[in-house]
Structure 1
Amino acid sequence: MFEARLIDGSILKRILEASRDLLTEAAWECSESGISLQAMDGSHVSLVSLFLGADGFDYYRCDRNLSMGINMISMNKILKCAANDDIITIKAEDDGSSDVVTFVFEAPKMERRCEYELKLMNLDVEQLGIPFTEYSVVINMPSASFSKICRDLILIGESVCISCTKGGINFSCDGDLGSGKITLLQSTSDENEADNLTIELTDAVKLTFALKYLNYFSRASTLSPIVKLCLSKDVPLVVQYDIEDIGYVRYFLAPKIEENNESDND
């Protein structure tokens, strides 16, 4: 038997909303340690990696490892039926006797209980090994600022060049109507850590990425006030949002090599 209960059911709603433009189907891997997901977007350009630890749930039971093939669009529709303050429980049989996963939504005072079943899919999913990488630059910044930068620059062009030194980080974009450049300097405050921008740097970095995907990633800003960006030459960018005390979602996006090379030759 698999069962996971989350008092703050809005976490699951926000996770599904953040991935709605990237994933149409995915295998949710359930084990004793928690729930994980790893899937490429439909264009095989970006990778989504999610982990929700067992200790972060209010009740968690997983008698044996279980892989649930789920249509993410359908799951998002079902979760929209839950109120933001509902308690959400996910249940499934792990002995192969059922081809559905059950979602139970309960109001905080238990005056309402809704139950939905979603048919599972048979997915042939190969888990991609994500190698450990020592990144040249690790940036922690307010997720709201990152979202606004992505929204603003996509009005100018399709790609953004991210360059980082010890002093700060530049986001620049060129398009048919002109260009844009946003510079952020390191800042720290003891009053609110979520407003800080910190940069850990071993080597300066200048890389170009598709803004469409960064905009998709930034929708996870509802999960965390802070976003972590990890960059190194010739490896995918990592955009990570820590989800309260339960886990994280990571997005991986390869740099646009051709544009980067052109900018290096300028």
Structure 2
Amino acid sequence: MFEARLIHGTILKKILDAIKDLVTDASWDCQPNGMSLQAMDTSHVALVAVSLLSDGFDKYRCDRNLTLGMNLISLSKIIKCAANDDTITIKAGDGGDKIMLLFEAQNEAEVAEYEIKLMNLDSEYLGIPDTSYNVTIKMPSAKFQRICRDLSQIGDAVTISCAKDGVRFGATGDLGSGSIRLSQTANADKLEETVQISMQEALVQSFALKYLNHFAKATPLSAQVILKMSPDVPLVVEYKISDNDDENPSEIGYIRYYLAPKIDDADVDM
């Protein structure tokens, strides 16, 4: 038996909105300590990994490990039927071929039930090695989303140049070129508005903006985004997932995206 009850059902909505345009079919791996999903995008260029801890649920029961394969677009359509303040419960039997979704209104005056058929997916869980990154950038997620969107008007790729005094995002195309430079603002009054850069050495890498714009759809989940870079390894774009408790928010999981640098990044001079 598997049952997971999420008081703030809107979190699940935001997670699906952040990944469904990258990954069509995927499997949720359900274990006693939480739920996780890992899948390549349809073109096998980017990898997305989602983790939700059991502690983040109001109720969580997983009697044995389960793999729930499903179409994320279909799941997203059903989840959108829930109001933003609804409680969402996911239920699945040990050997069933479907899951049940329950949407409960806050006043408990309305309960909606839906069933979704499960899929048998050939999915291989990729072991992502622990990597020590040369550069870590922590910045407002809304600012990262705006930079990716704006530079997409100029070119197809963004070159990220990291130095001690700041980070520069640049793009070049037929139209011309553009760049946006951010300085460290670690002393800002609001933590979510700070830009923090930790680096061991200067680094310049280029990445496809098409994918970064997909990643930025996770912006509603977190006020800040973390970028991790090292030579010859994929970029990590991480969004921490917190509950919706305004007074004492707690981290309940994350979304991480992985994207390999463009091959010609060394030829781009910022």
Selected match of 1:189 from 166, 184, 187? 187
In structure 1, the residue matched to 2:114 is 116
Matching residue's letter, 2:86? D
Q: For residues 263 and 240 of structure 1, what CA distance do their matches in structure 2 show? A: 25
In structure 2, the residue matched to 1:66 is 66
In structure 1, the residue matched to 2:228 is 230
Q: For residues 27 and 225 of structure 1, what CA distance do their matches in structure 2 show? A: 27
Deviations 1:134-171 (A, max 9, x none): 00000100000000000000011100000101110000
Selected match of 2:252 from 241, 246, 249? 246
Q: For residues 221 and 110 of structure 1, what CA distance do their matches in structure 2 show? A: 30
Q: For residues 157 and 106 of structure 2, what CA distance do their matches in structure 1 show? A: 45
Q: For residues 215 and 21 of structure 1, what CA distance do their matches in structure 2 show? A: 11
In the alignment, structure 2 segments of 5+ residues that lack a partner are 243-250
Residue 200 (structure 1) aligned with residue 198 (structure 2): yes
Q: For residues 171 and 242 of structure 1, what CA distance do their matches in structure 2 show? A: 23
In structure 2, the residue matched to 1:219 is 217
Deviations 1:188-234 (A, max 9, x none): 23521000000110011100000000000001010000000000010
Structure 1 vs Structure 2: percent identity of aligned residues? Answer: 57
Give 4+ residue runs of structure 1 displaced > 6 Å after superposition: none
In structure 2, the residue matched to 1:136 is 134
In structure 2, the residue matched to 1:30 is 30
Deviations 1:108-154 (A, max 9, x none): 11111001000000011111110110000001000000000000000
Deviations 1:63-117 (A, max 9, x none): 00000001001001001101111000000001x1x20011100001111100100
Selected match of 1:262 from 259, 262, 267? 267
CA contact 2:36–2:49 (8 Å) conserved in 1: yes
Residue 76 (structure 1) aligned with residue 82 (structure 2): no
Q: For residues 21 and 89 of structure 2, what CA distance do their matches in structure 1 show? A: 24
CA contact 2:204–2:266 (8 Å) conserved in 1: no
Q: For residues 266 and 138 of structure 2, what CA distance do their matches in structure 1 show? A: 26
CA contact 1:104–1:113 (8 Å) conserved in 2: yes
Change in CA separation of 1:263 and 1:190 when aligned onto 2, cut-off 3 Å: closer
| TM-score using structure 2 length | 0.95
In structure 1, the residue matched to 2:93 is 93
CA contact 1:189–1:195 (8 Å) conserved in 2: no
Could you say what secondary structure the match of 1:117 adopts? strand
Selected match of 1:175 from 173, 195, 201? 173
Q: For residues 41 and 182 of structure 1, what CA distance do their matches in structure 2 show? A: 28
CA contact 1:209–1:254 (8 Å) conserved in 2: yes
Shift of 1:10: 0.2
Change in CA separation of 1:168 and 1:190 when aligned onto 2, cut-off 3 Å: closer
Matching residue's letter, 1:4? A
Taking only aligned residues, the RMSD between alpha carbons, in angstroms, comes to 1.0
